[in-house]
Chains A and B, each alone.
Chain A
């Protein structure tokens, strides 16, 4: 069964610190892996999209890595800010083009405190 598991479920860090969120998936083959940020009360917003052949992708202070051999991805946040408090969702895209191609993880809730 195609699954996307994220850890930890929640995380609290101090402002200015770095953190890493994990995503393990059993989907194979896949087209790409995405990380979304979802602020409280808002819709998800895309941070990065990586194809299966890419190892890393950055978006400002956010860096995503992908290890297709171990079926793991991580999202590293550098020098965290209060505005990074949000839910981070890992999504794997199946090769089919139809609307059912996305497999969503349950997300990691990050709280950044001052």
Chain B
């Protein structure tokens, strides 16, 4: 039982390049999330999904796209990377309701855009 995994762990991009971050969970969770974490700021929600085939915008969605084609996977895409997207990205998953259920985080992807 690996929990939540993320690939890659590190990546350096040049401005304008594109990339996809992959998140996978083996806990059969319905909800999945993408966050970014920047120094001096709390975790901010980028996009989330409440089930296979669904996605929704979070607090800071601009410049990112997501897809949830399979229940266990949640992809985060950057179409044209900008230096402002330099950050640590965390994926998380949970059962249906956050009122009582735990949210499990992946180990993070450190992205640098030059």
- A residues near B (Cβ < 8 Å) are 4, 31-32, 41-46, 49, 51, 89, 93, 95, 97-102, 104-107
Contacts and interface: CB of A to CB of B under 8 A. Distances in A.
A114 to B, nearest CB: 26
A32 B99 contact: yes
A88 to B, nearest CB: 12
Contacts, number: 63
A97 B98 contact: yes
Contacts of B42: 4, 89, 104-107
Contact of B48 (A31, A95, A100, A107): A100
B50 A99 contact: yes
Contacts of A51: 100
A104 B108 CA distance: 17
A8 B74 CA distance: 35
B97 A43 contact: no
18 contacts: A31-B100, A41-B108, A42-B107, A43-B90, A43-B105, A45-B105, A46-B102, A49-B102, A93-B98, A97-B99, A98-B56, A99-B45, A99-B49, A100-B58, A100-B59, A101-B98, A104-B42, A106-B42
B45 A100 contact: yes
Given A43-B90, A99-B33, A102-B98, 14 more contacts: A31-B98, A31-B100, A32-B99, A42-B108, A43-B92, A44-B90, A44-B105, A51-B100, A93-B99, A99-B31, A99-B58, A102-B103, A104-B43, A106-B42
A52 to B, nearest CB: 11
Interface string B72-105: 0000000000000000001010001111101111
A100 to B, nearest CB: 6
